[in-house]
Structure 1
């Protein structure tokens, strides 16, 4: 399980980093970067410290120095646990990765699990599970009850909670073991397992001891935002669906009409055209689409697209 070790291992460096964080919280990012620089002189191999340094320098307006710090992170942590390659891409200093580092996504949600429901739902007005649930019910009917629902990127179980009256059995999969533990505590799933949607079906973990074509509904609420290239994710959904099954999922809406883009939030946004093309390439087509606000970010609404697809 990927976990971010934020300690440098040097008490003096850690104290300076703590003081730097206090300065940054007060908006003094240049001073925070200077103080953290002193800590990094003591522990020059501290990847987490260099990542923090990059963020302080970026907020202080020292973009070139921030880029240099993020490049240091990539060199020190080849698995890119901190997502420095995404930062470089967002600053125009690297190409946009087709997929984010799996270690970064796993670590991000392991760290986020304990406060996920409160932070996302209560503070950011996250509504995708409820809105996606409503869209499926509108499509399939108020009395619909699916036999097996496979919840991809299930997180803490928000979609299962919203859709509980319409499913006989839930399977949940996530990259983060900490998220899976939170979902398990809610008692909504018959089966929970770790899986990586960025990998093709044979390697994703979705079919270890479980057959293909077993799902009446595949749901992926707020998952595609952490994938640029949707090919593997959609191939997994197609392999899970039975002939009459539905695939319900969300994306953040891209500004461009085609393709996908990496945003400053380090989440990906996709165009409806791109979604349709990748679905078609995997033997599926859109039967319902809706545009809506899916969350708030820095006080601004994030516009998303909700889709229901099925096999062609």
Structure 2
């Protein structure tokens, strides 16, 4: 899933039309034409961030790294919230640290655009089943621990349209969700399953919550948009009651730490996650290889963990 480069008007009809031609050329992999057309756009509308971004991407595809970085940085200076996602391109070119590649602005724009087709695309096209996998894992963990499959209060991080709440329906007394995308939250609200919904970044949200208030914290395919997870783990531990559970899925990385993949998502290693769990004060009650979605018909390697608060 990626931003579709939706046209944001430059304020000039001729520039906008030429930008559309540039986008079409880029989509057809005619990168020389795309770069030339983008430069023509910028002669008319020099402060059009989307054209700078397109020029940077076309230049990168042509192997012109220095020019690509310059154009992408210009786009970022004009649109610092980075809803265009140029920080991802800069990170791939080695011009930004990997952990700085994805911003809240990019994720918000991505999911605001994606919201109307989110459920259908995920479950039909990508065979997404993250919430179901987490719900099943929680059932197995609770059975193994000899405890009932009930949670008085649940926090759903990156709740999206509410798929996780549906998967947990009947096992939680109340559930609150948090997401960056207002359009996703609108759709979650319609489901009628949440006691409250919050528009916020998930770490900032957790930091506002009371200590030991939740019995369960869940994050289904959310950490793919975050690199370093130390603070998220620490705050999840803080908001959980004693013996509370923290369940989440990630994309799997066989190396050390985490990496930004070609699919514009982070992948995390099992050793990294286990190290964070131990440092934060969790016990790993379940860690298994799963695939929560497909990419071009192939399962995407992932991990599912359930941690217990010590």
* TM-score normalised according to structure 1 size: 0.88
1:6 and 1:49 in contact (8 A); partners too: no
In structure 1, the residue matched to 2:132 is 130
Structure 1 residue runs without a partner (length 5+):
none
Displacement, 1:220?
0.3
Task: Give me the whole-angstrom Cα distance separating, in 2, the residues matched to 1:117 and 1:124.
Answer: 10
In structure 2, the residue matched to 1:84 is 86
CA deviation map 1:83-128 (0-9, x unaligned): 3222111123332225732222222222221222122222122221
2:158 and 2:220 in contact (8 A); partners too: yes
State the superposition RMSD in angstroms. Answer: 2.2
2:56 and 2:68 in contact (8 A); partners too: yes
Match of 2:28 among 26, 30, 35: 26
In structure 2, the residue matched to 1:167 is 172
Task: Give me the whole-angstrom Cα distance separating, in 2, the residues matched to 1:190 and 1:246.
Answer: 20
CA deviation map 1:226-270 (0-9, x unaligned): 1111012112211221112110001111131x2111112221111
Give the alignment of 1:216-255 within 5 angstroms.
216-255=215-254
SS at 1:252 equivalent = strand
2:206 and 2:236 in contact (8 A); partners too: no
Displacement, 1:42?
1.1
CA deviation map 1:138-171 (0-9, x unaligned): 1114962222111111011111111213222111
1:148 and 1:168 in contact (8 A); partners too: yes
1:90 and 1:266 in contact (8 A); partners too: no
In structure 2, the residue matched to 1:114 is 116
SS at 1:248 equivalent = strand
- Going from structure 1 to structure 2, the CA distance change for 1:96 and 1:32 (only over 3 Å counts) comes to same
Give the alignment of 1:200-219 within 5 angstroms.
204-206=204-206, 208=208, 211-219=210-218
- Going from structure 1 to structure 2, the CA distance change for 1:58 and 1:220 (only over 3 Å counts) comes to same
CA deviation map 1:196-232 (0-9, x unaligned): 13x4xxxx13465x53212111100011111111012
2:99 and 2:226 in contact (8 A); partners too: no
How many residues align structurally?
302
Task: Give me the whole-angstrom Cα distance separating, in 1, the residues matched to 2:216 and 2:122.
Answer: 24
SS at 2:72 equivalent = helix
- Going from structure 1 to structure 2, the CA distance change for 1:42 and 1:299 (only over 3 Å counts) comes to farther
CA deviation map 1:64-101 (0-9, x unaligned): 44333212222323333333222111123332225732
- Going from structure 1 to structure 2, the CA distance change for 1:99 and 1:19 (only over 3 Å counts) comes to closer
In structure 1, the residue matched to 2:48 is 46
- Establish whether residue 193 from structure 1 lines up as the match of residue 195 from structure 2: no
In structure 1, the residue matched to 2:289 is 291
Task: Give me the whole-angstrom Cα distance separating, in 2, the residues matched to 1:64 and 1:298.
Answer: 32
In structure 1, the residue matched to 2:182 is 177
* TM-score normalised according to structure 2 size: 0.89
CA deviation map 1:267-288 (0-9, x unaligned): 1111111111112222112110
